[in-house]
Chains A and B, each alone.
Chain A
Amino acid sequence: MTEPRVAEELKKMEGEYEPLLPVERKLIWYTFTTGVVLLAIFVLISRWFA
């Protein structure tokens, strides 16, 4: 197997952009929102109970 050079790989990506799929947008949005909500909850718990 030939070893791909990263520079060539990256150049190839410029010409073949993969648009963000709706499922990717959901993944990003849900993950981030869950993180922020959990963060707020844990901060409160750590201040009140820990």
Chain B
Amino acid sequence: MTNLLTTSNQPAAPSEGEALAIAQTRLNEDWLAVWIGLFVFALSLTLLFGIDLLGWTITTSVWTAPSKALAPASKFYAHLPASLSLIATYFFLLVVLLVSAKALRADLKRFAVGFTAIFIVSYACWFLGSWAYIAATPDKRPALKIAWSLNLTNESGFIIALLAGLIVGNFLPGVARALKEAVRPELYIKTAIVILGGFLGIAALEQRQLATSVIFRGICAIIEAYLIYWPIVYFISRRYFGFSREWAAPLASGISICGVSAAIATGSAIRARPVVPIMVSSLVVVFAVIELMVLPFAAQHFLYGQPLVAGAWMGLAVKTDGAAVASGAITDALIRAKALAATGVVYQAGWITGVSATVKVFIDVFIGVWAFILAWIWSAKIERRPGEKVRVVEIWQRFPKFILGYVATFLIVLAIGIAAPGLIPKVKASMAQANLFRSIFFLMTFFAIGVLSNFRKLWQEGIAKLAAVYVLCLFGYIIWVGLLISWLFFHGVLPPTLKG
């Protein structure tokens, strides 16, 4: 969704040339996410050979005294001052992302300035979210010597980062303009998802049967996005709101499948003008933010007894990769905290996020196939273009490449664990280190989504009618059908527990 959205300094609808550049940029961001994710993953795996290359990475504990909150990840680097660990983490990410920015032909100076601000604000939000009175779960309060807490876990830092981003995006246009070059939520979240693959590989090693079951159910659940959501949204847009085919098809894909990527792929498949998927994408992200702020809390309240239903629901109902996986992460934290407080059960962390990511990734896999089918129907049946053929290679061209990275890290961890079970504890420690970077990329995603969500600008563009379809379909249909289908597939499937 990078650059697709409106910041106060940008027009809401880019020109055709800009849109084509955006499409090109997205492709590059996909591959870059794979390489950055694999790079962090590979560095973390050096632990298997006794070389601790990422142990200096900063970690933040739930704190009551700020001075004790930060520390390097590994005992090997325990002598390192926390401030130095934080600076080292910043410089590592700055260098890696500057190389990426160079590949994206971004303005490096502006990118460095933007990234620096994003990193500082995002990590400050994480730090604040780790304050014991906000984050501590009931079982941790005695150790922290506090009588009460909001029980939000340190993942509340994600919500704080989102709010900070929304403030910048909507009230500080000058700041949003200054950060623009580094506000790349798609790059950040896709990198995080590649790293997440390794983390889920560990979960799969420990619970193979459950992991197989989750993957199978995840594949089943995605038919909903394409076959049950899409035709209804398309029909409502066409029949009741009078949208033309050019607008209705990308709108249906944006609302039903995976927001931005699907809207762009569909727009391109039916030969819509670039402005159409661009506007749809803008709308998708704004509503994804609303979902992100509402659905995890609803899931915590109503679904804490069925955590994986909640995870699948986030993957199916929340549009855009970033917001969906981010919602999964928040739901993971909130439900584990609530389950502990209400029933004393401690669910293993990561399974809810894993289900959200799995469902989302499978949805993404089929975007190219869906675009191909629509392209064929449009060219052969709806807007017949003599002599025009749809090429199968377009399926590959539209395939979200970051998924290859996600699958690679997942399979590598799985293969190591199966081939050498004795190495599993070391692989686990490696993934724990890589996971620290996943959290930071998540954080920056939240902040960046907020910065890009300019509600006022969209309204000024006259997007009310599009928003009306979105509200009706999302809150009247998609959320509820998504919940039903998540329930059908994941009801009774519970994550492993640590105690209780």
How far is A23 from B381 in the complex, measured between Cα atoms in Å? 7
User: Which B residues from 462 to 500 make CB contacts under 8 A with A?
Assistant: 462-463, 465-466, 485, 488-489
Which of B13-21, B66-74, B437-445 contacts its partner?
Answer: B13-21
A6 with B466, Cβ < 8 A, contacts A24-B238, A39-B223, A43-B489 known = yes
A36, B217: Cβ atoms closer than 8 Å: no
The answer for the CA separation of A32 and B488 in the assembled complex, in Å, is 18
Looking across the interface, which residue of chain A has its beta carbon closest to that of B380? Answer: A23
Using known A-B contacts A14-B242, A28-B234, determine if residue A6 contacts B463 with beta carbons closer than 8 Å.
yes
Among residues 226 to 245 in chain B, which have CB atoms less than 8 Å away from a CB atom of chain A?
226-228, 230-232, 234-235, 238-239, 242-245
Contact status B231-A28, CB under 8 Å: yes
Do the beta carbons of B226 and A21 come within 8 Å of each other? no
B461–A46 contact, CB under 8 A?
no
A4 touching B462 by the CB < 8 A rule? no
Contact assessment for B224 and A3 in the assembled complex, using a CB-CB cutoff below 8 Å: no
Does B88 sit at the interface, judged by CB under 8 A? no
B353 to chain A, nearest CB (A): 21
B188 to chain A, nearest CB (A): 28
- Any A CB within 8 A of the CB of B377: yes
B224's partner among A5, A14, A21, A39 (CB-CB below 8 A) is A39
Task: Give Cα distance in the complex from A39 to B485, angstroms.
Answer: 8
Query: Interface residues of A, CB < 8 Å — how many?
Result: 33
Number of interface residues of B (CB under 8 A): 43
Residue of B nearest to A7 (CB): B462
Across the interface, name the chain A residue whose C-beta is closest to B382.
A23
Residues of B within 8 A of A6 (CB): 12-13, 275, 279, 461-463, 466
Task: Known contacts A23-B377, A35-B223; decide if A13 and B247 are in contact (CB<8 Å).
Answer: yes
Q: Please, how many angstroms separate the alpha-carbon atoms of A39 and B28 in the complex?
A: 35
How many whole Å from A44's CB to the nearest CB in chain B?
Answer: 10
Residues 1-50 (chain A) with a chain B CB within 8 angstroms: 1, 3-10, 13-14, 16-18, 20-21, 23-24, 27-29, 31-32, 34-36, 38-39, 42-43, 45-46, 50
Could you tell me the distance in whole angstroms from the C-beta of B273 to the nearest C-beta in chain A?
8
Q: Is B425 interfacial (CB 8 A cutoff)?
A: no
CB <8 Å contact, A43 and B466: no
Verify B242–A20 contact, CB threshold 8 A.
Answer: no
What residue of chain A has the Cβ atom nearest to residue B234's Cβ? A28
Knowing A5-B462, A45-B220, A50-B217 are in contact, say whether A20-B231 is a contact too (CB < 8 A): no
Residues of A within 8 A of B465 (CB): 10
* Shortest beta-carbon distance from B312 to chain A in Å: 12
Cα A32 to Cα B223 in complex, Å, equals 10
Beta-carbon contact of B279 and A20 below 8 Å:
no
Evaluate contact between B275 and A3: CB separation under 8 angstroms: yes
- Per the bound structure, the CA–CA distance linking A4 and B14 in Å amounts to 9
Chain A facing B: main interface SS: helix
Q: Is the beta-carbon distance between B238 and A20 smaller than 8 angstroms?
A: yes
What residues of A have a CB within 8 angstroms of the CB of B39 in the complex? none
CB distance from B395 to the nearest CB of A (A): 18
Q: Is A13 touching B242 in the complex (CB atoms < 8 A)? A: yes
Residues of A within 8 A of B488 (CB): 39, 43
Contact present for B275 and A4 (CB under 8 Å): yes
The answer, yes or no, to whether B207 is at the interface (CB within 8 Å) is no
A5 vs B275: C-alpha distance when bound (angstroms): 9
Residues of chain B within 8 A of A31, CB atoms compared: 226-227, 230-231
Min CB distance B92 to A, Å, is 40
Per-residue contact bits, chain B 187-213, to A (CB 8 Å; 1 contact, 0 not): 000000000000000000000000011
Take A27-B377, A32-B228 as given contacts and tell me if A16 and B244 are in contact as well, using a CB distance cutoff of 8 Å.
Answer: yes
User: In the complex the two chains form, what is the Cα distance from A10 to B277 in whole Å?
Assistant: 14
How far, in angstroms, from A29 to B26 measured CA to CA in the complex? 33
CB < 8 Å neighbour of B235 from A28, A34, A42, A43 = A28
Q: Which residues of B contact A39 (CB under 8 A)?
A: 220, 223-224, 227-228, 485, 488
Instruction: Please tell me if B11 contacts chain A, counting CB pairs below 8 Å.
Output: yes
A32: chain B residues at CB < 8 Å are: 227-228, 231-232
> Which residues of B pack against A, CB within 8 Å?
11-17, 212-213, 216-217, 220, 223-224, 226-228, 230-232, 234-235, 238-239, 242-245, 247, 273, 275, 279, 377, 381-382, 461-463, 465-466, 485, 488-489
Q: List 28 A-B contacts (CB under 8 A).
A: A1-B17, A4-B13, A4-B273, A5-B13, A5-B461, A6-B466, A7-B463, A10-B462, A10-B466, A13-B247, A20-B238, A23-B377, A23-B382, A24-B238, A24-B382, A28-B231, A28-B232, A28-B234, A31-B231, A32-B231, A36-B228, A38-B227, A39-B224, A39-B227, A39-B228, A39-B488, A42-B220, A50-B213
Given A1-B15, A31-B230, list of 13 further CB < 8 A pairs? A3-B13, A4-B13, A7-B462, A18-B238, A28-B235, A32-B228, A35-B231, A38-B227, A39-B220, A39-B488, A42-B220, A43-B488, A45-B220
Q: Which 3 A-B pairs have the closest CB atoms?
A: A7-B462, A35-B227, A42-B220
